[in-house]
């Protein structure tokens, strides 16, 4: 699926191909070049990207831990870090294993979030110490973030703006100036190196109305059925509110107690109830009200920013909250742990952890209510949530009985891996020097180490909108691949019908005229076939 692209592009760049010329790319230039650098230093391999991503994850966890600790306490920050690691970092909650921080569907997503967090981390330091150097580092980080994905850059910029406005309020005018100047450095370098098209990356696709109308992207945001999604959000918000009110009531009843007995008992009861209910709780949907929660927290924090004492203003907390809220825009009515949620819902989730484990208990303590009761109940719910997500991931991992690839490219898959192995064997046996997998499956190119002679990596409906069926056919006509592998793919989620019938008609016609069937990859008992086609002699 998508992760094949994440391996193929840096491999080809490391071999000398040029992005936006030899490879048609629709994101920013930073991530594929970073991964290509890793391949140049250590050689191509899935494990090389995995360990590179582990380092990115470790740095992001460390920065977020310190930021959350700054606005709460160490217990809360550690809880937030564990939620990040156990729920978002390594999880698999759908049939595709590339929605996590180790093998992301798009490195621009994880790199973008990491760089935005780095910018906030640097500005937090600058706001506390007045360091202009830290502001410059933050600007560089956000400028690099611009070269990944628009949604991560805009969210990072929104969070950074909180710090910059506060710097202006406290007459630290050099900080915004230095930050802005430093942010422009990587953008200007990219403009010189890659030109405007390469620098703006995914901004044109984001603004493309035809893409946004596709059923797939509407389902991502939740606007495919907005009424239903809004009702689900409100229902889950009501559940959250009921839980908080219940814990608050217990905390009020225990307001005269001072021992740990009531908080511990509350935690045990909450955890026991969650375990007893088991699968009756749809834990994968519990994040639905995050936009409402984040917006409410942002309003409360904005009100506190009016304090005349700069030290009492929750600048870092507000910046984190605004960052998390802005990231949710792409999934606003359909927030979930799965799919894009591993990156887009993570920051807002950690802010919610801070609110439940620290901010709300602290506020209750100020009112003479036993906040530790709510804290214990929140920690128990987080433990149940994380345990369920780990168990769900384990279920998917248990089905991965096939080993795909070898050496540093080896990974485990379910039965689909058998088809990939068979296709790779057939391609290698053909001694082909060039290969195209249609409509998608560039992982086969990478594992067989056979490049596509055209610039195009995938041949799906979104790519047709971006590049055009005519451009595909022209590229194949100019330099036809030796072998074409046809992989059955259900494209109904894009509303275009199957390849060569609902879309890609010109390329489909070219393949039908110029290629003949050489072999078929089958697995007994599974109604699925991969067709390996060879280029026929003559025009």
| Distance separating alpha carbons of residues 162 and 159, to the nearest angstrom | 6
Answer whether 65's CB lies under 8 Å from 81's CB.
yes
| Distance separating alpha carbons of residues 138 and 236, to the nearest angstrom | 36
Alpha carbon distances (Å) from 150 to 104, 147, 324: 17, 8, 15
| Nearest alpha-carbon partner for 284 in 491, 528, 92, 518 | 92
Q: Which tokens belong to 266? A: 């509350």
Whether the predicted pLDDT of 539 surpasses 70? no
Give residue-wise pLDDT tens across range 157-187.
999 999 999 999 988 989 999 999 999 999 9
Q: What backbone torsions phi and psi does residue 57 show, to the nearest 5 degrees?
A: -60, -45
| Distance separating alpha carbons of residues 489 and 467, to the nearest angstrom | 20
> What pLDDT score does 264 carry?
96
Alpha carbon distances (Å) from 168 to 132, 172, 495: 14, 6, 49
> What pLDDT score does 490 carry?
86
| Nearest alpha-carbon partner for 76 in 85, 84, 68, 88 | 68
Instruction: With cut-offs at 50, 70 and 90, classify the pLDDT of residue 469.
Output: very high
| Nearest alpha-carbon partner for 315 in 472, 62, 126, 492 | 126
Give residue-wise pLDDT tens across range 60-105.
999 999 999 999 999 999 999 999 999 999 999 999 999 999 999 9
Answer whether 530's CB lies under 8 Å from 521's CB.
yes
Q: What backbone torsions phi and psi does residue 451 show, to the nearest 5 degrees?
A: -80, 160
Instruction: With cut-offs at 50, 70 and 90, classify the pLDDT of residue 538.
Output: low
Phi-psi region of 38 (alpha: psi -120 to 50; beta: other; left: phi over 0): alpha
Instruction: With cut-offs at 50, 70 and 90, classify the pLDDT of residue 524.
Output: confident
Give residue-wise pLDDT tens across range 303-319.
999 888 777 789 999 99
- Give the residue-averaged pLDDT of 434-459: 96
Give residue-wise pLDDT tens across range 103-158.
999 999 999 999 999 999 999 999 999 999 999 999 999 999 999 999 999 999 99
Mean predicted lDDT score pLDDT of the chain: 94
Q: What is the DSSP string of 252-304?
A: HHTTT--SSHHHHHHHHHHHHHHHHHGGGS-GGGTTTTHHHHHHHHHHHHHHH
Answer whether 138's CB lies under 8 Å from 180's CB.
no
- Give the residue-averaged pLDDT of 193-202: 87
Q: Which tokens belong to 253? A: 């009843």
Instruction: With cut-offs at 50, 70 and 90, classify the pLDDT of residue 205.
Output: confident
Give residue-wise pLDDT tens across range 231-279.
999 999 999 999 999 999 999 999 999 899 999 999 999 999 999 998 8
Give residue-wise pLDDT tens across range 209-221.
888 889 999 999 9
Alpha carbon distances (Å) from 496 to 209, 216, 464, 533: 15, 11, 10, 24
| Nearest alpha-carbon partner for 437 in 520, 516, 532, 529 | 532
Express as a percent the part of the chain with pLDDT over 90. 88
Instruction: With cut-offs at 50, 70 and 90, classify the pLDDT of residue 514.
Output: very high
């Amino acid at each position: 699926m998508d992760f094949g692209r994440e391996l193929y592009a840096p491999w080809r760049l490391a071999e000398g191909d040029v992005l936006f010329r030899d490879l048609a790319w629709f994101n920013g230039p930073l991530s594929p070049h970073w991964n290509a650098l890793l391949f140049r230093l250590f050689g191509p391999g899935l494990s090389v990207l995995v360990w590179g991503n582990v380092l990115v994850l470790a740095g992001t966890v460390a920065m977020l831990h310190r930021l959350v600790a700054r606005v709460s306490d160490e217990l809360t920050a550690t809880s937030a870090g564990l939620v990040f690691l156990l729920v978002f970092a390594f999880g698999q909650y759908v049939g595709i294993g590339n929605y996590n921080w180790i093998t992301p569907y798009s490195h621009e997503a994880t790199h973008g979030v990491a760089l935005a967090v780095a910018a906030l981390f640097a500005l937090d330091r600058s706001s506390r110490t007045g360091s202009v150097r830290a502001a410059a580092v933050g600007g560089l980080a956000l400028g690099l973030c611009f070269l990944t994905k628009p949604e991560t850059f805009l969210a990072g910029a929104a969070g950074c703006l909180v710090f910059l406005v506060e710097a202006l309020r406290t007459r630290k005018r050099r900080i915004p100036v230095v930050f802005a100047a430093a942010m422009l450095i990587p953008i200007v370098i990219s403009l010189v190196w890659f030109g405007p098209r390469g620098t703006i990356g995914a901004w044109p696709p984001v603004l493309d109305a035809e893409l946004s109308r596709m059923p797939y992207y509407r389902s991502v945001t939740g606007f495919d059925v907005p009424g239903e999604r809004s009702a689900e959000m409100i229902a889950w918000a009501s559940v959250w509110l009921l839980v908080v009110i219940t814990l608050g009531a217990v905390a009020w009843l225990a307001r005269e107690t001072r021992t740990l007995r009531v908080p511990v008992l509350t935690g045990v009861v909450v955890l026991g109830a969650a375990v007893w209910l088991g699968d009756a709780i749809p834990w994968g949907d519990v994040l639905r009200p995050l936009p409402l929660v984040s917006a409410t927290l942002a309003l409360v924090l904005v009100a506190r920013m009016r304090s005349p004492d700069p030290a009492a203003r929750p600048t870092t907390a507000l910046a984190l909250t605004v960052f998390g809220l802005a990231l949710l825009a792409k999934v606003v009515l359909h927030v979930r742990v799965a799919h894009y949620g591993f990156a887009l819902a993570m920051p807002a989730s950690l802010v919610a952890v801070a609110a439940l484990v620290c901010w709300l208990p602290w506020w209750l303590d100020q009112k003479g209510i036993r906040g530790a009761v709510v804290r214990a109940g929140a920690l128990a719910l987080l433990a149940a949530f994380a345990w369920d997500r780990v168990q769900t991931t384990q279920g998917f991992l248990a089905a991965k009985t096939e080993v795909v690839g070898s050496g540093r490219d080896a990974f485990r898959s379910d039965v689909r891996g058998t088809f990939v192995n068979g296709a790779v064997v057939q391609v290698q046996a053909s001694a082909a020097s060039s290969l195209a997998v249609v409509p998608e499956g560039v992982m086969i190119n990478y594992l067989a180490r056979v490049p596509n002679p055209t610039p195009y990596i995938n041949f799906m409906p979104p790519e047709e909108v971006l590049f055009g069926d005519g451009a595909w056919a022209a590229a194949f006509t100019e330099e036809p691949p030796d072998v074409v592998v046809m992989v059955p793919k259900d494209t109904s989620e894009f509303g275009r019908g199957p390849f060569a019938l609902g879309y890609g008609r010109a390329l489909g016609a070219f393949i039908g005229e110029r290629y003949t069937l050489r072999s078929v990859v089958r697995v007994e008992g599974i109604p699925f076939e991969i067709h390996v086609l060879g280029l026929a002699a003559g025009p």
